[in-house]
Structure 1
Amino acid sequence: MSEAGVIHDIGYQRYTGPRLGRGAAFGALYQHGLRAAFGLGRSAKAKIFPWLVISVMLLVAVILAAIRSQTGQNLVDYFEYDDSMSWLIIFFVAILAPELVSRDLRSGTLPLYFSRPLRAVDYVAAKVAATVTALWLLMGVPQLIMFLGAAFTTKDGAKGVWNEFLDLLPGWGYSLLWAALFAAIGLLVASLTGKRAFAAGGIVAVFLMTTPVVGVLSVLPSSTTNHLAFLASPMTLIQGVGVWLRDNHETIDLGRFGPIYGIEAVCLITACLLLLLARYRKVASL
């Protein structure tokens, strides 16, 4: 007596809908990364740290706006606000970057991503864009609150509001520079390991290890070394760019080397992004 096989129709069908391609894949990765930055769609535990940082930064902005509206004194301008919040930004990046890239490395989902039209450059661009957007919002929204506090209490009417807006725009540009540099460094470090704790520690270590170097170089007897000392750390590098752009040497004395700070900032961002792309092209080829 022979046994015959039976084929069961369980309803599997071929996909006949539109194939959206690389653009849709990029958009989906970008949207997912931006939501993950603020803990949206994740557990309550995952929302605690990002919203704690956001709350602190918003609270500081509200206090500054209230003081200015009551006393007329501008204790901290838009550039100085970013500088004063630098350590909170670092910790935010240290949590965000591993969440966006280390998780994919550890779970082994990258081969699945790259088996589709999505390319390594698309993946990197989406992650960088999501990180930059999240960091810019982290700084830009509090700056907007500071602007509103000043605009609604100005005594110069429309002219005062317009002048304040002209001060806000460079501040937003400065925030974008902060976001671009910190996103490039944070994602590069996080892409080297699939363990989020190690990635977060590595990101913080990059800034912790470079900051004392600035302190040592700034007290050496050579004035040229003192002026160039702030190139040694990403945080003071960005502050130096801000000082150069505003030609305000009250906090940091750059001497005649201001353009070098701008050049190094551009080169550092470019180098980190190229290394990040090379990292994922290597992963995609495996």
Structure 2
Amino acid sequence: MAPQTSVIHDIGYQRYKGARLGRWYANRSLYEHSLRTAFGIGRGAKAKIFPWLVIGIVLGVAIVEIAVRSITGEALITYRGFAAGLSFPIMLFLAVVAPELVSRDLRDRTLPLYFSRPLSRSDYALAKYSALATAVLLLLGVPQLLIYIGAIFTRTDGFSGAMKELGDMGPGLAGALIRAVVLAGVAILVASTTGRRAFAAAFIVGVFVITAPVVGILSALGNETLLHLAFLANPMTLLQGLEQWIFGRPGGEGMPIGDMGPVYGVGAVALLAGTLLLLLARYRKVAA
């Protein structure tokens, strides 16, 4: 019988005795990481191209507005009109960023690593949604703040002028917040249905592009009620209708929604609630 030569080596394994940061810390870390990912921070140059291209477009509009105000003293675009007029860049940003946040994890099958931590499936979904909503809010809010700073330096009425400008900016920031909260839910839900980023981006664009002609078709049918409700069919025009109901017609103009403003409010709440509930249901069923 051969002699036993096996030896047990003590290589210094020890129990972890430090603080266990728990679920809240895991949620915060995932949110921060996802927000950095949205802007390509900490990643290669390729990941920064599209997000920062959109950021450049939005900041370019703000710089032009500041320049026009400083030269002529007149506003080229209102704060409320800023977010509404940048629907295409917002859509592009959502189509690029949302798949980066969730589709990559589905494709690479990294969800089991997340769920092995004190992090629930709902935590994961809501952290990703919150990061995207914050990114959109920064995309629309920061340029408005820059316009405000530029505007108060061109006004000649001192503190009262600065407060009036602040009052004008308030609805613009509120509109940015509404768009960030609702549109992020739509985009993150659509992106969570596939692990292929290209498909997810196409699906997100499709949601906004395909529903736009529906608005035109319903408006052209000649029925007054349909005309007032037609803008519910597209997420962008739905939020414009909500904003118009809350803050009134911009400059006496706006969409012909008639007295259907409360319907747009209900529609926006239903869209947000529906997308979040479906998002949570999606991650309860996704394989881990």
TM interval, shorter chain, is: over 0.9
Q: Is residue 152 of structure 1 aligned with residue 153 of structure 2?
A: yes
Name the aligned partner's letter for residue 108 of structure 2.
S
Aligned-partner Cα distance in 2 for 1:192–1:283: 9
Shift of 1:27: 0.6
- Conserved? CA contact 2:171–2:247, under 8 Å: no
Q: Name the residue aligned to 2:134.
A: 133
Aligned-partner Cα distance in 2 for 1:170–1:215: 27
Name the aligned partner's letter for residue 138 of structure 1.
L
Aligned-partner Cα distance in 1 for 2:172–2:218: 28
Matched residue pairs, number? 285
Between 242-251 and 22-31, report the one with greater CA deviation. 242-251
Q: Name the residue aligned to 1:173.
A: 174
Q: Name the residue aligned to 2:36.
A: 35
Shift of 1:133: 0.7
Residues 154 and 254 from structure 1, CA distance in 2 versus in 1: closer, same or farther, beyond 3 angstroms?
same
SS in 1 for 2:132: helix
Normalising to structure 1: TM-score of the pair?
0.96
Normalising to structure 2: TM-score of the pair?
0.95
Name the aligned partner's letter for residue 283 of structure 1.
V
Q: Name the residue aligned to 1:257.
A: 260
Q: Name the residue aligned to 2:280.
A: 277
Q: Name the residue aligned to 2:227.
A: 226
Aligned-partner Cα distance in 2 for 1:262–1:254: 12
Aligned-partner Cα distance in 1 for 2:96–2:226: 34
Shift of 1:167: 1.6
Shift of 1:211: 0.5
Shift of 1:15: 2.1
Name the aligned partner's letter for residue 21 of structure 1.
G
Q: Name the residue aligned to 2:70.
A: 69
SS in 2 for 1:97: helix
Shift of 1:243: 1.5
Shift of 1:125: 1.8
Shift of 1:116: 2.1
Shift of 1:154: 1.1
Aligned-partner Cα distance in 2 for 1:8–1:203: 56
Could you list the runs of 5+ residues in structure 1 that have no partner in the other structure?
none
Between 8-17 and 42-51, report the one with greater CA deviation. 8-17
Between 217-226 and 25-34, report the one with greater CA deviation. 217-226
Aligned-partner Cα distance in 2 for 1:99–1:7: 46
Between 237-246 and 54-63, report the one with greater CA deviation. 237-246
SS in 2 for 1:152: helix
Q: Name the residue aligned to 1:246.
A: 247
Aligned-partner Cα distance in 2 for 1:216–1:88: 24
Name the aligned partner's letter for residue 228 of structure 1.
L
Q: Name the residue aligned to 1:13.
A: 14
Aligned-partner Cα distance in 1 for 2:225–2:140: 32
- Tell me the alpha carbon deviations over residues 195-226 of structure 1, each in whole angstroms, 9 at most, x when there is no partner: 11111111111111101101111111111111
Between 143-152 and 2-11, report the one with greater CA deviation. 2-11
The share of aligned pairs that are identical, in percent, is: 55
Shift of 1:251: 2.5
Q: Give the CA RMSD over aligned residues.
A: 1.4
Could you list the runs of 5+ residues in structure 2 that have no partner in the other structure?
none
Aligned-partner Cα distance in 2 for 1:85–1:217: 24
Q: Name the residue aligned to 2:111.
A: 110
Q: Is residue 203 of structure 1 aligned with residue 204 of structure 2?
A: yes
Q: Is residue 161 of structure 1 aligned with residue 162 of structure 2?
A: yes
Shift of 1:246: 2.0
Name the aligned partner's letter for residue 76 of structure 2.
L
Aligned-partner Cα distance in 2 for 1:277–1:56: 33
Between 12-21 and 160-169, report the one with greater CA deviation. 12-21
